[in-house]
Chains A and B, each alone.
Chain A
Amino acid sequence: MLEARQLSLSISEFALLQNIDLQINPGKVTAILGPNGAGKTSLLRLLTGESLPSSGEVIFNGVPLSQWQPKQRAKILSVLPQGSQLNFPFTAREVVMMGRIPHATGLVKDADIVDAALNAVGGSYLDKRFYTQMSGGEKQRVQLARVLAQIWETDVSGDRFLILDEPTSAFDLAHQQLTLKIVRDFACQGVGVLMVIHDLNLAAGCADQLVVLNCGQIAAQGTPEAVLTTTMIQEVFNVDASIGVHPKTGSPLVIV
């Protein structure tokens, strides 16, 4: 379990996050929602150990996150940041192969995992293509395949976690759906998934738990049905919306 206990973060006396309590459970998908500047990315940085909280702590599989050896942690916690700075001509295969750096499973097995991960994101055709010559969506798929390859194996000790910062931002409709399906499949294998996402309906259709951040505090938390209300959307997003029901899945549908 990945757990935030009373997390607060302030930078030069400006409080970015206040008293965040949060539990990410294995096998469940948790989505963080919130307007721009609500503290979503800051929270993700604290939960992945990128920055240290001003107070409170993050517990990862029973041990404070800061006490984990980087390499051990990387074997079961993989993170997809927003955007990518890679501007060297690696092939897609080489980029995905980097997801296997924390492991020592051997070239043959790693090659199989890379094939499978590329296939999962619908990117097998990218295999030998250069990353620098791909479209934005293709790059994001390759990066997604990389973080999937990092926690691909099921026979590791400890619960696996996948953390994604706006994984669908550069995707067309079909690839948005594909990403959410991959996320669900991983959750079904027992992986705990946490993602920041902007589209309320994508979140409602995919997540078990929604966490709404507003001004550095948790404004609402719970199942999509409980969280997505007209009052919450009015208060947090300042938008007058109606809530319907998805005709096929039955999950709540936000209509603006």
Chain B
Amino acid sequence: MRRQSPFQFILIASLILVLALFLGLLSGAVDIHPSKLLGLFSLSNMDMDHRILQTIRLPRVLLAALAGACLASCGAIMQGLFRNPLADPSLIGVSSGASVGASCVIFFGGASLVGSGVGLPAITIGAFVGGLVATSVVYRLATSSTGTSVSTMLLAGIAITALAGATTSLFSFFADNEMLRRISLWQMGNLDGADWSRVATLALVVVPLMLVLPREGQALNAMLLGESEARHLGVAVERLKRRLILLTALGVGVAVAVSGVVAFVGLIVPHLVRLLIGPDHRYLIPGSAILGAALLLLADTAARTLMSPAELPTGVLTALLGAPFFVGLLLQQRQKRVG
């Protein structure tokens, strides 16, 4: 397969991201005329469209872009760390742990939380804590005096994911109808709770992450050769693994906490970018971040507009659109290899 130049790709992906931002801002249950964007931040001019833009649309598109960037670049990191192009950020248990945390809060918080204003932040915090706890258990299980074994971590991740899945099911089993609906909606992944405080929370984690992660590119490239090869190239392998797992757990943890489990972005986007520009992590990580932001934003815009005024859960849409696209990509690749 011929490769695209990484710089060209990043340029094109950035253009798509900018277009997706505008599309996301302008379309929805109420379509807004592009001219309204000009006065977006003027306080004097407060008609209905501006209020929609400021309090609903802008936080929502920013949240989608940040979550997409975060999930996709963490996916790239995990695929490098596990030396497996099919790895996914959820492998280290963070998403399933977050599900337990969120359903636990929904279950025990019950009716008292609903509509009281503290409900959503409480669920977010519960999900974040759940994700971090699950990841730290997986990490502990895989770490011995001789270091962290990536293959043990994979197995521990599977075990913890299964355990967390069962726990979430237990909560769902004992939950009443209203709770059950909220638990399942949360698990589908949804950006409909977007507000400025969530954007700020996510940005606080994602922006530093985006600045730090590309610096690990060269070391991750060496890791693809094998752990001992990386060590012989002067990479402090154990420290690198610990740092990357911590960063991924933080990044995915907070993304999942504010948006629920948005499927597929972390798996597909880095895979796609690798097919286009090759596996060099110095370009793969920023490329994945930009494309991930654009794709989640487009998917979320589609989720809002397809059945407007009703909204589909974003996570359902990413999987619905992502899976066939991915299969198409695989088929195309196979054909090229044969032909």
Q: Which of A26-34, A86-94, A106-114 contacts B (4 or more CB under 8 A)?
A: A86-94
Residues of B within 8 A of A75 (CB): 234
**Residues of chain B lying within 8 A (CB to CB) of residue A101:** 218-219, 221-222, 233-235
Complex Cα spacing A98 to B231, Å: 12
Q: How far apart sit A72 and B225, CA to CA, in the bound complex (Å)?
A: 20
Query: How many A-B contacts are there with CB distance less than 8 Å?
Result: 68
Write out, one digit per residue, whether chain B residues 219-230 have a CB within 8 A of any chain A CB (1) or not (0).
Answer: 101101110110
Q: Is A209 in the interface zone, CB < 8 Å from B?
A: no
Chain B contacts of A74 at CB under 8 A? 232-234
Within B61-87, the residues touching A (CB, 8 Å) are 83, 85
- Give the nearest-CB partner of B235 in chain A: A70
Interface size class of A (residues with CB under 8 A): 20 to 34
Let me know if A175 is at the binding interface, CB within 8 A: no
Beyond A50-B231, A102-B234, is A94–B280 a contact (Cβ under 8 Å)? Answer: yes
Whether the Cβ atoms of A84 and B234 lie closer than 8 Å is no
A80 to B324, CA, bound (A): 42
Chain B, range 265-315, C-beta contacts under 8 Å to A: 274, 278-280
Residues of A within 8 A of B235 (CB): 70, 101
Q: Is A99 among interface residues, defined by CB-CB distance under 8 A?
A: yes
Residues of A with C-beta under 8 A to B233 = 74, 98-99, 101-102, 150
**Residues 97-127 (chain A) with a chain B CB within 8 angstroms:** 98-99, 101-102
Quick one: closest B residue to A85, CB to CB?
B226
CA of A52 to CA of B186, assembled, Å:
49
- Cβ distance B42 to chain A, nearest Cβ, rounded Å: 47
**Smallest CB separation, A131 vs chain B (Å):** 10
B interface footprint on A58-91 (CB within 8 Å = 1, 0 otherwise): 0000000000001111110111010011111111
Given contacts A74-B233, A90-B278, A101-B234, contact A81 B228 (CB under 8 A): yes
Contact residue among B83, B228, B229, B234 (Cβ-Cβ distance under 8 Å from A70): B234
What residues of chain B lie closer than 8 Å to A91, measured between beta carbons?
278
**B280: which A residues are within 8 A, CB to CB?**
90, 94
Q: Are A90 and B279 in contact (CB under 8 A)?
A: yes
How far apart are the CA atoms of A94 and B85 in the complex, in Å? 18
Please measure, in the bound complex, the distance between the C-alpha atom of A121 and the C-alpha atom of B26, giving whole angstroms.
59
Is A48 interfacial (CB-CB < 8 Å)?
A: yes
**Docked pose: A75 CA to B231 CA in angstroms:** 12
A-B residue pairs in contact (CB < 8 Å), sample of 18: A50-B231, A70-B231, A74-B232, A74-B233, A74-B234, A79-B232, A81-B226, A81-B232, A84-B225, A86-B226, A89-B274, A89-B279, A90-B224, A98-B233, A101-B218, A101-B219, A101-B235, A102-B233
Closest CB pairs A-B (n = 10) = A74-B234, A71-B234, A88-B279, A102-B234, A79-B232, A85-B226, A70-B234, A101-B233, A88-B224, A86-B225
Q: A48-B232, A49-B231, A73-B234 are in contact. List 13 more A-B contacts (CB 8 A).
A: A70-B231, A79-B232, A81-B229, A85-B83, A86-B225, A87-B83, A88-B224, A89-B1, A89-B274, A89-B279, A94-B280, A101-B218, A101-B221
Interface positions of A (Cβ within 8 A of B): 48-50, 70-75, 77-79, 81, 84-91, 94-95, 98-99, 101-102, 150
